[in-house]
Amino acid sequence: MKEFFHRKIERNAIGFVVAIVAVASIGGFMEIAPLFTIQETVEEVPDMRTYTPLELAGRNIYIREGCYACHSQMIRTLRDEVERYGPYSLAVESKYDHPMLWGSKRTGPDLARIGEKYSDAWHVAHLINPRDVVPESVMPKYGWLMRNELRIEDLGEHLAAQQTVGVPYTQAMVENAVQDARGQASPDSNAAAGVAERYGEATHVRAFDGDPSRLTEMDALVAYLQILGKLTDKAYQQAATAEAE
């Protein structure tokens, strides 16, 4: 009977195509669609903030350089990872990550909670030549980050596209994107105040690459690294409540 049926379908190209598409669609549909409908998939967190334009630019450099090929940003729910890297990652922490950068290989350590772990100066030295500070390292040198001026004129377009895909940037953020990127890396400039105003007092406003007069790709990347794991405090709060219990 089954044989017979298959013999039939083997003789009908269109039927075969339809059958393949039908059989192959079920799995993905069952696994992906509910992630949008089940509320608890992504935690509700009031203090979750978006990336500033500078941090977003840094994130794009992280993508461009392929750092995700060696670094994960996802602390799994395993004892050793929690003890080594900090509280396990929550879904909400990458809620505004288009695309996510969880990674699949740890040639280098996890970076999900690297924010504020080390100093800006260390990151700069490390990115220029990792082996200057960590002789054992196999990470590439990224000296050009310090040489390249950061491209910022299109940051407004970046934020607008992010808005389109659902990141809650305000119109003011989009309009001031270029200025905010400058301001965040030159703390004494006039532009600096607007950053804290739009993105919150806790935003890091510093000369990330050590030179407030130039806005380099290094500024952006370090600003991004320093915010990793810091967009919301939820994971640490959860860990603290668990400990209290």
- Residue 104 binds to ligand HEM (criterion: CB under 6 A): yes
Supply φ then ψ for residue 216, to 5 degrees.
Answer: -105, 170
- According to DSSP, residue 49 is labeled -
- Residue 160 binds to other proteins (criterion: CB under 8 A): yes
Min dist CB 69 to ligand HEM, Å, is 6
- Considering the complex, state which of residue 41 and residue 119 has its C-beta at the smaller distance from ligand HEC: 119
Residue indicated by tokens 């598409």 = 21
Q: How far apart are CA 220 and CA 209, in angstroms?
A: 9
Q: How far apart are CA 179 and CA 29, in angstroms?
A: 43
Q: Does a cis peptide bond (omega within 30 degrees of 0) precede residue 87?
A: no
Please identify which residue in 82, 125, 134, 161 interacts with ligand HEC, judged by CB under 6 A. 134
Q: How far apart are CA 213 and CA 224, in angstroms?
A: 19
Stretch that binds ligand HEC, among 108-116, 146-154, 166-174, 192-200 (CB under 6 A): 108-116
Q: How far apart are CA 166 and CA 234, in angstroms?
A: 21
Q: How far apart are CA 218 and CA 9, in angstroms?
A: 59
Please identify which residue in 96, 142, 199, 208 interacts with ligand HEC, judged by CB under 6 A. 142
Please identify which residue in 1, 4, 32, 170 interacts with other proteins, judged by CB under 8 A. 32
Stretch that binds ligand HEM, among 53-61, 102-110, 162-170, 182-190 (CB under 6 A): 102-110
First to last CA, the chain: 61
| Residues paired with residue 149 on neighbouring β-strands, in sequence order | 216
- Residue 210 binds to ligand HEC (criterion: CB under 6 A): no
Q: Is 216 helix (H, G, I), strand (E, B) or coil?
A: strand
Please identify which residue in 56, 67, 128, 220 interacts with ligand HEC, judged by CB under 6 A. 67
Which partner from the list ligand HEM, ligand HEC, other proteins, none does 27 bind, CB cut-off 5 to 8 Å by kind? other proteins
Site for other proteins in 75-134 (CB under 8 A): 76-84, 86, 88-109, 113, 116-122, 125-126, 130-134
- Considering the complex, state which of residue 77 and residue 104 has its C-beta at the smaller distance from Ca ion: 104
Q: How far apart are CA 171 and CA 203, in angstroms?
A: 19
- Residue 105 binds to ligand HEM (criterion: CB under 6 A): yes
Could you list the residues that contact ligand HEC (CB under 6 A)? 62, 65-67, 69-71, 107-109, 111, 114, 118-119, 122, 130, 134, 137-140, 142, 221, 225
